[in-house]
Every structure is written in C-alpha cells, then in structure tokens.
Structure 1
Amino acid sequence: MNRIFFYFALSGLLVLTLLASDSKLHLIHADRSVGRIENGEKIRYLVGSVEAYQDTVHMVCDRAVFYEDRNIVELIGNVLIDDTHHKLWADKIIYYSSDKRAHCSGNVRISGVNDSLFAQVFLYNFSIGDAVGKQDLFIWDKQNQVRIWGDDGTYFSKISESHISGNAVFHRYEPTGVDTLIIHSGYMSYYGSGIRRAVARDSVRIFKGTVRAVCDSATYLIDNQLVYLQINPLAWQGDSEMKSDQILFTMDSLKIKEIFLEEKAQVTTLADSASQKYNVLKGKSIQVSMADGTPERVIARRNAVSIYEIKDRNIDQGTNSASSDSIIVHFTLGEVDSISIIGGTEGTFYPADWKGEIKSEY
C-alpha cells in the first residue's frame, strides 16, 4: 500500500518560496496549501486563487499541483501565464520550470502585441517563444492582416514564421473587411517578416472576388501583392477558364488588376450555352486586364490564335478563326466588344451551318 505523509497544511497562505533560487518557481498566494509525500515524492496541492512566478513568467489559476523534486507544476482551471511578451490562457497547463516549457490543453489561447494563436492543445516554450499547436489551430497576425486555420502547426514568434498541416486556410484581408484573398491547401508555410509571403502546397484552391483558381503549388508575396500559381494551374472568372504552365495574379489593395498566363496559354469562354460553343484564345502568353472584377482587355502574344463565335442580335452568324503575332480582345461590361489582330494575320470564316473541323494556323 502506498504510504502518504502530510508535512504541512496552511490556510490563507500569502507568500511562500517553493524553491529558494531566483530561477526557480515561487508561490505568491494560494487560499489553501497541503503538502504530501507520495511514494517518496514531495507533492504540494494548492487550492484557490493560486498565484506564482518564475523570473518574468507570472502564473494564476484556480488550483495547482506542484511536484517539487521534478520542478513541474500542474495548473488547473482558468489558467493564465504572462511572460510580458505573450499571455497564455488554457483550461490546464503542465509547466516544466527547469526549461520553461508548457503543455497546454483545453481552449488554449496565446496572445501577443501583434499575434494571437488558438488551439485545443499547445506545446509552448517561454524561453524562445515557439509553439506547436494541435487540433483546430488558428493563427492571427494582426500587423499583417493575416488569419490562418489548420489542423496542426508550428509557430516561431521571434521570426513570425508558421507551418500548418491539414486543411490549411489562409486569409489576407483589408482593414475595411471588404476585400479578402483566400487560399486553401493541404500544407501552408507563412512568413510574417523579411520577405513576407505565404507558400501553399497540395490541392491548392484560391478565391479572390470573381476569380477562383486551383494548382498544386502557390506563393503569395504580400508586399508585392503577387500570387504565383505553379504545377497544373487553372483559373476561372465568370464563364471563362484560363490555363497555362504558370499563372500570375497582380493585385492592388487586394483587387486583381492583371492575370498573366505564361507558356501554352489558353482562355476558353462559353459563347452559347444552348449549343455549347466556346470562344478560344491561345498564345505563348496571355495577359488579362481586370477592372471591377471583370475582364477589360485580353492580349494573346506570340503565335496567337483566336476562335470566336459571331452573332448578330443573338443570332449565330458563324465562327471566325484567326492567327497572328498578337490578338487583342476588348470588353465592354464584361462582354466582347471588338477584336484587334496585329501582325502576320491569317484567318478563316466558317458559316453557322459549318459541320467540319475549325482549324487555325498555329
């Protein structure tokens, strides 16, 4: 049978040094303190308005269990730890005073001047400010207007760097809350200092206003307001699909201004839903200029090809196929207004009842 010895019981305890060294844990207050020796180990049970500190780390909770020989304290109920740089709240924290590590569980929140973290479980190092979160992770970089969600992740506070795995979601928002860039991925790395950027990998999905896109790898450069899509990129705006080897979004105040398609570029737009006919624009590169979330001008360069359905008062007149050095498509209110064909032009008109293949030179 385990032998238990009571070695003190104090009520209304105000100040008691648990260990004499300044680098160890000191108790400031507890309504009640009971000490025991269990299996040869000294254990102190603290109940009611518990308050303690170690160096600059200050702790409060409802009750605590202190394992003196191992320099471990278990803080339970309404736990708050403050190290002057970050505040940490949790239902329960196991604090290892020898190296200032904390295992936090239950509604964990870590808050600093410029950042806040939430998760059900955190491993936090007060010496270096690093945190490993698990279960329903949320990171809020207030200074950079960034919010990140995910299953699990690691956060390095001194360099403002995060790595998230499992159902990662990245939001960059304007302070007004009107415009938001949203990126979903399997894995996400976020760098909030230096070259500020987010790098998404695995099943990437991007949403920005009327534009949505998918790829296997994407990089968002915050200061340059550029989004690079690589590895099988596809993008859509309205009834148009855009594809190429690489896609680049340029933004201003989180509004997409230009979309660049590089190498094997193609834009396909539904021309008639009833007949399932499409307008097609191809080139080695294509530049899409946007205004108010809709295309304003599309330029295909180098071996440009256009296949466009011609209508008069919504009546199908036929198909025009053209190839040239460059082709410019102008839009009014999101609809094709005119097409300019520049340099080395060749073209073919196909009547509406044409049943054969529509060809182009390129």
Structure 2
Amino acid sequence: MLKLFRLDQIERRLFIDKSFVKLTYTFFFLFLSTFIFGQAKQIEILNTRTLKKSRGQTKEFVRLIGDVRMSHEGALMFCDSAHFFPKSNSIIAYQNVHINQGDTLHLYGDKLNYNGNTKQIDIRGNVRLRDPDLELTAPSLQFDRNTNLGYYTNGANIIGPSQKLWSQRGLYNSNNDMLQFKDSVVLVTDNYTVRSDTMLYHSESEQTWFYGRTVISGKNGDIYCKKGYFNALRETSWFVDSVFIYNESQLIRGDSIFYDQKREFGKVYDNVLLRDTAEGYEVTGAFAHYKESSSYAFVTGNPIYSLNVDGDTLHLNGDTLLTYRNNDTAERFLKVYYNVKIFKSDFQGRCDSLFYSEIDSTFHLYESPILWTGTNQMTSDNMDLKLRNGNMDSLFMTGNAFLMSETEEVLYDQIKGKNMYGKFVENELQRIFVSGNGQTVYNAYDENEVLLGINRADCSDLEIRVQDNKIDRIIFLVKPDATLYPVEDIPEGEKRLKGFRPRYDERPTRSDIFQ
C-alpha cells in the first residue's frame, strides 16, 4: 500500500540533478564495501552452446555464444552472446538481452554491461523495462540491483494501465512502484494531457504529483498551475499555486483548487475568480464550492458578483453568494445573502438579501431595500429591478415607496406613495409613476429659478420626470390637494413626509465593495 505524503513532504523527496550525483556516490561506496566486507557472489553460467577462452588487450575473458543463460543473486540473464570476465566478476552481453528479477521485473535491451560485485546494470539499445503495472522504453537505462533503482537521462516512454508518459530524465524505484520524471514531462490519458517540468507517478495506485509550470489540456478546457496531485482511480485532483481552469467561455481561478471529476464538483480556495464570458458576469471571493454541470457556485469571503450592463459594470456584494442554473430550462439564478451592497457608476443600493432570476431578468431586493441614483434616494418594503437585453429597464417599488432628492436648498424634494414604478432609458432613470396615496413635498421656483417656497400636495396618482438623475417635473394625474408655502412661512410639520429618513451616508462606494 502506498504511503501518502503531503505535497510539501513529497516535494522534499523529489529528485533533482543531485539525485544522480547521490547515485554515483552510492555506487562508489558499494564498490568499496565489496573489499571491506568480502567478495560478492560469482556470476554463474547456466547454459551456452559455445564457450571459448579469449584474451583482450588488457583482460582475459570467456566468450559465450548461442542461447546464453546466466544467474546472479536472484536474477536470470539471457542473451545471444556475451563476454564474461571472471576476475572482475562482470559481463558484457549482446543481442536479445533479457534480465528477469523476482519473476516480476523484466529488463530487455541490445547490449548489457553488468558488474556482479557492485550489481550495477548499464543497458543500451531498444531498452524495455516491464513490471506488472507499467512498461518503460528508452535508448539506455542504468539500474542498481542493490536498491532496485533505475534511471535514464536520454528520454523514455512509460505506458501504464491508463496513461502514457514521456520525459527526458527519470528515476524508477521497483520497491514501491514509484517513478520520478524530470525535464519536458508529458503525460497522456484518454481525457487529458499534462505537460510539466517535474512529475512523480505511482504505477500501482495511478497517483501523480507534478511540480513546476504545469499545463493540463482536456476535452472541456485547460488547467494551469505550479503544483498539483491527481488520483486516476478516484478521479480527484489538487491544484496549487496560481491555478487557472479555463475553456472558451469560462475561467476559474484560485490559489488552490480541489476537483472531483466523477461528481463534477470542486472547491476553490483564496483569490477566487469564476468568470463566464458568454453570460458577461464574474464572481470573486475567498472560498467557493462549484458544480460544473449546473454552473453551481457557492461563494463566501466578501463575494462579489459583477455583471456587464451596456458597457458599464453592476457589482453585487454580500456575506454569501449562490449562483446556479436550472438543468431543465437552463435559466440562471443568483442569490446574495445578508448585508447586500449594490454598486454601478450611476446607481447604488443596499438590502438584506437579493434574488435574481434569468426567467424574468429581474433582481428582487428584500428587507429594507434602498437605492440611490444621482441625488435621489428610493426606499420601499420590496424592490424589483428588471433588465432587458442586458440593460436596466424598469424598477418596481411596492409598499411604503418613498423617493427623496437632495437639493441645493435647505429642504429635500420628497415623494411618497403606496407603490412606485420607474422606467429606465439607456440605463438612466427617466420617469417614475406613483400609484396610490401619493404625497409630495418639493421646492417651487419662479421663471427666474428663484425659490418661492415649498409645494405640499396630496394626489393619489402622479408622474415624476427625471433628468440628469434629478427630479425635473412632477405631473399630477388627478386633481391634487396642494398648498404653496412661502419660504418664511413653511409650517414645521409640512417640511417632512412621514417615513422621511435620509441615508446618503450609507451609500456604498466602489471601495466599500472591493474592500
């Protein structure tokens, strides 16, 4: 059973160029130990068709020709021919070389250099290493039988149960089925391709760790990260350090991301960004759950929903944000809970909670909603802001609707009614209709724009014209009960309508949203 380590623990175990240096020192001390602790067991010749004693320039050796078989400390060696050096207890094998160790590890190649004292293997030419979980092919391979470590430096292909991999350099540990890869690593499966600088792979459990700049390309998009982990059997992944997941229309970004491929479910941690360019919105926050199939996202940590509205951006902020899509109708929904703030360059608001439905393209504001546009402040029990073709279209204020406007004078223009309906033109509020129990207090001017006083009027239904986000005209749709009070004679009780409460100091700014 593979012992699992944390990523930082595995990273400390990760081989780099120094690993090969360490192997060299290992070979050197193993060689010395032969003389300190005694001579290693001699290589045994099991079979050959022809045996000839020969002498080279410096050494005597035995030529073995035809169906050569040898044995050494638990390993069987096969080849077409070989040179055996008894004094150095070493062999050079040629053609159809095959080494079988423990009935599980098989090594093939064209030429073999093997030292029986140090138990070091150097095999070259069409090298193939095979164990129950993988097959490795390479131009050359070095293998230490003492530690069961093999390494290559001239590139290799590895084929696993469901994966193919190539790298320039690598280290194979047959004790625990762990492989380490370095330089231009490419991992290919049926569903994705991984390109990385460094990678660890456990063949039995099909677990993969990757380090350095990594790009994962799949059928549904690409992933970029600097560190990660993937379990092929469970189909779960961890991506760490500046992670980006993107396709043609969507982007997910975070400091780290966990993803369950079977459930199409993920978790994003820190500096979260979920962007849908096709829909024209994005969500940011500190933590997110998301489900790919339904575009479900649950975001906390100062979540912000930003929507493109005719070249401008509408931002929504609250304690918790939830967006999802109906699987049957494909319409998208948005919910923002508690302490909701709304910001657009010419439009701001607050409420306790908010709900948006793509079915009617309407934002529903609940619990003491308030909106500001220009010098106007609007409040009611409930508010609905409707979009049309991505632009603000209309505003519905139901229950105790109240509109006030700051002026340069000492008074506020005020309009109150049971319900109000506002109409936007090119994203600017231009008309407001009051329905039921209409009351007004507004400054009255003469033709020279000199303040005459205030006009206090009651009228069940009326229309308000807005220009440059200021009240321009009030039109009474039925006969009003109106009184004009001169500036110096305004009764104290007529200056304020019931429910008057300026809240301009609560008006959110951009810095309040992006705190």
State TM-score, norm by structure 1.
0.87
Q: 1:305·1:327 contact (CA, 8 Å) conserved in 2?
A: no
| Closer/same/farther in 2, CA of residues 27 and 257 from structure 1, 3 Å limit | closer
1:100 — aligned with what?
A: 235
Q: Do the aligned partners of 1:100 and 1:125 also contact (CA within 8 Å) in 2? A: yes
**Equivalent position SS for 2:212:** strand
**Alignment partner of 2:159 out of 4, 14, 17:** 17
Match of 2:286 in 1: 151
Give deviations 1:310-335, integer Å, cap 9, x for gaps: 12233221212111221222345555
Which SS does the other structure have where 2:493 is aligned?
A: coil
Give the alignment's Cα RMSD to 1 decimal: 2.5
Which residue of structure 1 lines up, in the alignment, with residue 491 of structure 2? Answer: 356
Unpaired segments ≥5 residues, structure 2: 1-145, 499-515
Counterpart residue number, 1:28: 165
Is this contact kept in 2: 1:245–1:265, CA < 8 A?
Answer: yes
Offset of residue 294 of structure 1: 4.2
2:313 pairs, out of 177, 180, 189, with 180
Question: Which is richer in strand?
Answer: 1
Q: 1:337 to 1:53 in 2, by over 3 A?
A: closer
Deviates more, 1:49-58 or 1:296-305: 49-58
Distance 1:58 1:126, change over 3 A: farther
Q: 1:78 aligns with which of 197, 213, 223?
A: 213
Alpha-carbon displacement from aligned partner over 1:61-117 (angstroms, at most 9, x marks no partner): 111122345432211112122331222111011111221111110111111233111
Corresponding residue of 1:229: 365
Q: Which stretch of structure 1 is more off in the superposition, 219-228 or 89-98?
A: 219-228
Indicate conservation of the 8 Å contact 2:374/2:469, yes or no: no
Structure 2 equivalent of residue 340 of structure 1:
475
Amino acid at match of 2:307: R
How do 1:296-335 residues align onto structure 2 when only pairs under 5 Å count? 296-312=430-446, 313-332=448-467, 334-335=469-470
Q: Report deviation, 1:14.
A: 2.7
Q: CA shift at 1:346, angstroms?
A: 2.3
Q: Give the 3-state SS of the residue equivalent to 1:353 in structure 2.
A: helix
CA shift digits 1:289-308 (9 cap, x unpaired): 23345443222111111111
Q: Displacement of 1:156 after TM fit?
A: 1.3
Q: Describe the shift of the 1:183–1:335 C-alpha distance in structure 2 as closer, same or farther (beyond 3 A).
A: closer
Partner of 1:263: 399
Looking at secondary structure, tell me which structure has more helix per residue: 2
Distance 1:133 1:361 in 2: 49
Check conservation: 1:181, 1:254, Cα contact below 8 A.
no
CA drift of 1:353 comes to 0.7
Superposed displacement of residue 207, structure 1: 2.4
Partner of 2:355: 219
Partner residue of 2:105? none
Alpha-carbon distance between aligned partners in 2 of 1:300 and 1:350, rounded to the nearest angstrom: 23
- Give matches, 1:29-68, under 5 Å: 29-36=166-173, 41-68=176-203
Where 1:167 maps in the other structure, the secondary structure is coil
User: Alignment partner of 1:5: what SS?
Assistant: coil
Q: Report the Cα offset of residue 10 of structure 1.
A: 2.5
Secondary structure, counterpart of 1:134 in structure 2: strand
Which shows bigger deviation, 293-302 or 147-156?
Answer: 293-302
1:282 aligned partner: 416
Alignment match, 1:166:
301
Cα offset for 1:161?
Answer: 1.7
Of the structure 1 ranges 56-65 and 132-141, higher mean CA displacement relative to structure 2 is found in 56-65
Work out the number of aligned pairs and report it: 349
Q: Which of 378, 390, 393 is 1:242 aligned to?
A: 378
Give 2:340's aligned residue: 204
Q: Is the 8 A contact 1:246 1:262 kept in 2?
A: yes
Q: More relative contact order in 1 or in 2 (CA 8 Å, sep 6+)? A: 1
CA contact (8 A) 2:376 2:405 kept: yes
Task: Letter of the 1:126 partner, please give it.
Answer: Q
Q: What SS does structure 2 have at the residue aligned with 1:98?
A: coil
**SS state at 1:12 partner:** coil
Q: Show CA shifts across 1:174-204 (max 9, x none).
A: 6xx7233221222211225522122212221
4+ runs deviating over 6 angstroms: none
The amino acid across from 2:166 in the alignment is: H
Aligned partners of 2:268 and 2:289 also within 8 Å: yes
